[in-house]
Amino acid sequence: MKGLAQDRELALLAKALGHPVRVKILRILTQRCDCICGELVEELPLAQSTVSQHLKVLKEARLIRGEIDGPRVCYCIDPEGVRRLKQLVEGL
């Protein structure tokens, strides 16, 4: 059963990365050393609501973290989530 649980976990992470915009968001966040708030919307050719939906998917997959900073949410990479993704992919 351990293998099945890992397969399900990898499938969830792969699904979260199944859209090019979410991959781009991860690339942007990986290049930054700190959290990003509104700048993500400026770097992507999408409406704020669309970016927010993509951020929600990545956050639910635990690939990014969102921290409340006043009236906005700042996002950064979740190192543990990315480490786990790498570990699961290497186990293929």
Task: Output the pTM of the full model.
Answer: 0.87
Q: What is the mean pLDDT of residues 6-14?
A: 93
- CATH number, domain of 52, equals 1.10.10.10
pLDDT surpassing 60 at residue 23: yes
Number of separate domains in the chain: 1
Joined tokens for residue 17: 């990365």
Give the per-residue pLDDT at 92: 84
pLDDT grade for 14, boundaries at 50, 70 and 90: very high
Sorted by sequence, the CB contacts under 8 Å of residue 27 that are 6+ apart come out as none
pLDDT surpassing 90 at residue 17: yes
pLDDT in tens, 39-51: 888 888 898 889 9
pLDDT surpassing 80 at residue 89: yes
Q: How many angstroms separate the first and last alpha carbons of the chain?
A: 16
Domain that holds residue 38: 2-90
Helix, strand, coil shares, percent, the chain, to 5: 60, 15, 25
How far is CA 66 from each of CA 2, 7, 88, rounded to the nearest angstrom?
Answer: 30, 26, 23
pLDDT surpassing 90 at residue 59: yes
Is the CB of residue 67 less than 8 Å from the CB of residue 74? Answer: yes
Q: What are the backbone dihedrals phi and psi of residue 76, each rounded to the nearest 5 degrees, phi first?
A: -150, 165
